[in-house]
A and B are shown apart, each in its own frame.
Chain A
Amino acid sequence: MSESNFTTKFLKLFGIDNQGHSRRDYLNIWVPLISVGLALILGMIVIAASGRNPFQAYGLLFGDSGLIPGGPAWRREFAELLIKSAMYIATGLSVALAFKGGLFNIGAEGQFWVGAIVATFFGYWSPVAHTFGAMYIALGSFGWIAQLLHGAICIIMGMLAGGAWAAVAGYLYVKRGVNIVIGTIMLNWIAWFLITSWLVIGPMTPPSQTFTSGTFYVADTAKLLRIMMPTRLNTSILLVLLAAYATWFLLYKTTIGYEIRAIGYTANIGMEAPRAQGINISRRIMQLMFLSGALAALGGTFFILGMQYQFPNTAIMGYGWTGIAIALIGQSEPMGVVLAGLFIGALRTGATSMQVANIPKTFSDIIEGMAVGFIAMQVAVRYYLVKIIQHRRARRDPPADQEAAA
């Protein structure tokens, strides 16, 4: 079939092999595309229903999203797109990796905050910050080595903390039977109140500041290196692409990845097969949650070391939830997550300039939410898609008996 061939080639471009699966598998790539398309159309209807010009709004949305080269502000917008995408891809990978093992990590949000607060701490904590500050001066023109090392320590510590936070939910799941969705939601709010109602207004605030000012700022050596002056684009996008590659490699080229997928495939039917194979399921699930949490925390460290340089005393909500949307749109494949993350990053970058047309920037949340809604209804999307395809085929080459009847 022509559709099948096209899709096979398309998937192969991204290193995904869909041979040996059922022919209907090419729908996998059309479901998220159609969902996003339908969400964009519904978004237009929402804008039109509130008496605004949807074409002008979408012109602003995509024109300033950084996706289309050209224009005076394009470099800045492109940089913003990549900075935002880096964080979303990180949380998206986190959720996607857990999905592959049959787990719904709804706690990427909390793991993101834990990573962020720990990265902040190691960014300003004087023993670390002074060491690297002295090193930076001593190394002279090789000062970037100190910057790399300090940044790496902040990121690694943040990832370890975020991973440990998620592993708590994994432990409670395998040892005490606590549903992973409920466990991670509860841990989200525990993290949220510990950070915003204690750390950020207490122990981590400079004494002279008012309690609305957030934590200490991280030392200059902890900030991520900028790679495209004069924009604030930093190394986060490179790091997250590396993380995406590592996730793909882990899933498809290692034994652990195979075992994770085996657990994921059979998660709804008791995991008998992987157990019979001798896979230590409890251990793998805890490891998987650790890795998933570490990836979400990676996004949190980008947020601090690349954008804010401190943990602000304002709500920084939504990165984890957006990560869920991205993992679903990307169909839990690392490559799909990268593409979906870039798309959502573009949407969020462009949405800020929609405010010119009196449309709040949370408009991108509406699009995301509706896309997720359609993916939740993917049974329906597939059903009508197959119907349309069959209808078209029947019209193109009508069955022989019908021809005879005619």
Chain B
Amino acid sequence: MNIAQINLTIAQMLDYTMPILFAALCGVLSENAGVVNIGLDGIMRFGAFFGLLGAFFSHSPWIGLLFGIAIGCLVGALHAFITIRWNGDQTVSGVAINVIAVGLMTYLLEFVFSTTGYSPQIQNYFGAQAYRVHLPFLAKIPLLGAFSNLSFMIWFGFICTVLMHVLLYHTVLGLRIRTCGENPKAATTLGINVFRIRWFAVVAGAALAGIGGATLSISSFSGFSDSMPNGVGFIGLAAMIFGKWTPFGALGAALLFGTGQIVQSIIAVTGIAPKLAPGLTLILPYVLTLAVLAGFVGKSIAPAADGLPYYKEQR
């Protein structure tokens, strides 16, 4: 492989990484506030379809991104309404969102575009040359050359990671969010409105998952396919755990898992190990996550009140 090929591979790997990263960041934000969001795969499906819808009718990926954010907030609000307003089971609510997403997106795909399986392809998407972020001064440098011509969404993913880190660990709001996830009772005694903080975390997190879905349909690819997001939300969940519920950890895990996704195509292109079954590389994220959770490789511990509904009067 020459430099150009390596650069291409890195860029491709980043394309795979970003949807995983956005999903993982969604999980990081909402689980640090104490709300489990199994439904993020479904929210990504919503985001992927509505992102494409916006981009298709406005001929601008920016509108598509806004659509993705809006639908993410809306579905996140539903999750928050069920789990925070009515103390519903967080996993059950997530399952409901996933199942609705499967049915409703197929229904809407057929209704809006009268097609089954795939939406029409769009010209104006973030992966198109006109919308890429061009940094010509990097192009000549080995390895960094890969960053000279990337989709906007990839940079946005890095920016979101940094912003999330600052939010969680260097602001008052972040401290409050983490308190709600660790010990909501203590948060209440300090005068923090646990419900309001959790609402914010869930809705903002779901907006990120919506962005992640839109990244799939209007950045990594230029259309919506009925199999989206194809489990990316669950890889994101794994990345969140593997990254120990922190933004930079999630970034690292997403990069690792994104690489795992293209090992397959590297093998196919270079013919290094044609006998190696692709299934064996694709299970890597999940095996690693289980290993980390079980304490075989390091140890990953969830926030203490993660997944528990909060009752104000309960001791």
Contact = CB atoms under 8 A, between A and B. Distances in A.
Interface string B285-311: 111011001110000001000010000
A141 interface: no
A46 B93 CA distance: 20
Contacts of B101: 369
A368 B279 contact: no
Nearest to B276: A198
A362 B103 contact: yes
B89 A376 contact: yes
A57 B36 CA distance: 36
Nearest to A195: B279
Interface in A18-71: 46, 50
Given A106-B95, A176-B295, A182-B293, A365 B279 contact: no
Given A366-B100, A376-B82, A182 B107 contact: no
Interface string B97-122: 11111111011001100001000000
A53 B267 CA distance: 52
B88 interface: yes
Contacts of B93: 373, 376
B100 A182 contact: no
Given A198-B277, A325-B95, A190 B293 contact: no
A273 interface: no
B95 A372 contact: yes
A199 interface: yes
Nearest to A191: B283
B107 A363 contact: yes
Interface in A181-196: 181-183, 185-190, 192-196
Interface string A367-380: 11110110111111
Contacts of B92: 324, 328, 372, 375-376
Contacts of A287: none
Interface in A308-345: 315, 318, 321-322, 324-325, 328
A377 B82 contact: yes
Contact of B100 (A189, A318, A369): A369
B252 interface: no
Nearest to B109: A360
A403 B96 CA distance: 47
B99 A365 contact: yes
A264 B250 CA distance: 34
Interface string B125-141: 00000000000000000
B282 interface: yes
Contacts of A202: 277, 279
Given A176-B293, A181-B38, A318 B231 contact: no
Quick one: which of B38, B95, B110, B280 has the most chain A CB within 10 A? Answer: B95
A241 interface: no
Interface in A350-406: 358-360, 362-370, 372-373, 375-380
B88 A193 contact: no
Interface string A99-122: 000001010000000000000000
B59 to A, nearest CB: 24
A248 B293 CA distance: 34
Interface range for A? 35 or more
B279 A318 contact: no
B95 A315 contact: no
A363 B95 contact: no
B107 to A, nearest CB: 6
B82 to A, nearest CB: 5
Contacts of A178: 290, 293-294
B293 A360 contact: no
A360 B294 contact: no
Nearest to A180: B91
B278 A368 contact: no
A125 B293 CA distance: 37
Contacts of A369: 96-104
B200 interface: no
Nearest to A380: B86
Given A186-B289, A193-B282, A380-B86, A362 B95 contact: no
A321 B279 contact: no
B128 to A, nearest CB: 29
Contacts of A194: 279-280, 283
A182 B88 contact: no
Contact of B280 (A181, A198, A325): A198
A198 B227 CA distance: 20
Contacts of A186: 238, 286-287, 289-290
A375 B91 CA distance: 12
Interface in B144-202: none
A126 interface: no
A207 to B, nearest CB: 15
Contacts of A199: 279
A282 interface: no
Contact of B82 (A324, A328, A373): A373
B25 interface: no
B265 interface: no
A183 B107 contact: no
Contacts of B237: 182, 185
Contacts of A185: 38, 234, 237
Interface in A258-290: none
A179 interface: yes
- Would you list the 10 A-B pairs with minimal beta carbon distance, nearest first? A365-B103, A198-B279, A197-B279, A369-B100, A369-B99, A366-B103, A373-B96, A176-B294, A372-B96, A376-B88
5 contacts: A50-B107, A193-B286, A198-B280, A359-B110, A376-B82
Interface of A: 46, 50, 104, 106, 172, 176-179, 181-183, 185-190, 192-199, 202, 315, 318, 321-322, 324-325, 328, 358-360, 362-370, 372-373, 375-380
Given A176-B295, A182-B241, A377-B86, 8 more contacts: A106-B91, A185-B234, A186-B289, A189-B286, A198-B278, A365-B100, A369-B100, A370-B96
